[in-house]
Amino acid sequence: MPNFSVDADGSVFYKNKRIEKILVEGDELTGQNYEVATRTLNPEMVTEIEAIENYLDNAILKKIKKGDQTILNLKMKSIKKISGSLELGVGINGHNSQMTILGMIDKWKSLSYLTFNNVGIQRINLKNNQDPFGSTNTWTRAAGLQKRLELSTFFPNNLGIEQENINGEKIASTNHTFSLGKSIKLTSNFIGVSDKRNA
């Protein structure tokens, strides 16, 4: 798509500027750390991608000033049904599977996904000791997260990221929003992450 690019961890850029949020039919389901959703959501569920520049996440202030954020709004195939996708990849020693469920019925929207792999794919980036919602937290320091393979300090490591990354990643997330009116919405987000070195 013109003006769009996606980096290795799932971050989306529009006109070389990072997308801060991704909305689903106008509602925020994933927060600022949307990378897992972009790497698991089936593109066939999406009919249109709308880029919104100068976005300001404040209903009062945005009437008198422009923001500096760029966000995306995903328009889906149907707004009154539950749909999903399932991918299974199983080998003798490796596995890579993921499931995504999207629900949109009247005032309720939901996006849930389950993914696990031990083939080096990193679907969520917990660098800089940040949790999936962007706040600094100590739990990531003691979570036993995987490390890249270090071959030698004398020879360059020219392996790709998936060959360097010896992991056992498991992610489960469910995100819901329910509209009580034009200006009131209830939102809930849960994500569980486990990743460890398998060697």
Q: What is the pLDDT of residues 121-130, one digit of tens each?
A: 766 655 443 4
The predicted pLDDT at position 61 comes to: 61
Count the alpha carbons within 13 Å of 108 in the hemisphere toward its beta carbon.
8
Band of residue 46 on the pLDDT scale cut at 50, 70, 90: confident
Helix (H, G, I), strand (E, B) or coil at 163: helix
Residue 135 lies in a domain: yes
pLDDT greater at residue 59 or residue 92: 92
The predicted pLDDT at position 128 comes to: 40
pLDDT greater at residue 69 or residue 10: 69
Residue 68 lies in a domain: yes
Q: Tokens for 63, please give them.
A: 């009437």
Band of residue 58 on the pLDDT scale cut at 50, 70, 90: low
Dist. CA 58–CA 12, nearest whole Å:
22
Residue 176 lies in a domain: yes
Whether residue 109 contacts residue 103, with contact meaning beta carbons closer than 8 Å, is answered with yes
146-160: pLDDT as tens digits: 444 444 444 455 544
Residue 25 lies in a domain: yes
Residue 199 lies in a domain: no
Helix (H, G, I), strand (E, B) or coil at 141: helix
Q: Which residues contact 64 (CB under 8 A, 6 or more apart)?
A: none
Average pLDDT of the chain?
Answer: 73
Dist. CA 70–CA 54, nearest whole Å:
6
Using alpha carbons, select from 166, 175, 160 the residue that is nearest to residue 40.
Answer: 175
Range of the domain at 37: 4-194
Q: Tokens for 192, please give them.
A: 């569980």
Dist. CA 179–CA 185, nearest whole Å:
4
Please tell me the total count of domains within the chain. Answer: 1
Dist. CA 36–CA 10, nearest whole Å:
7
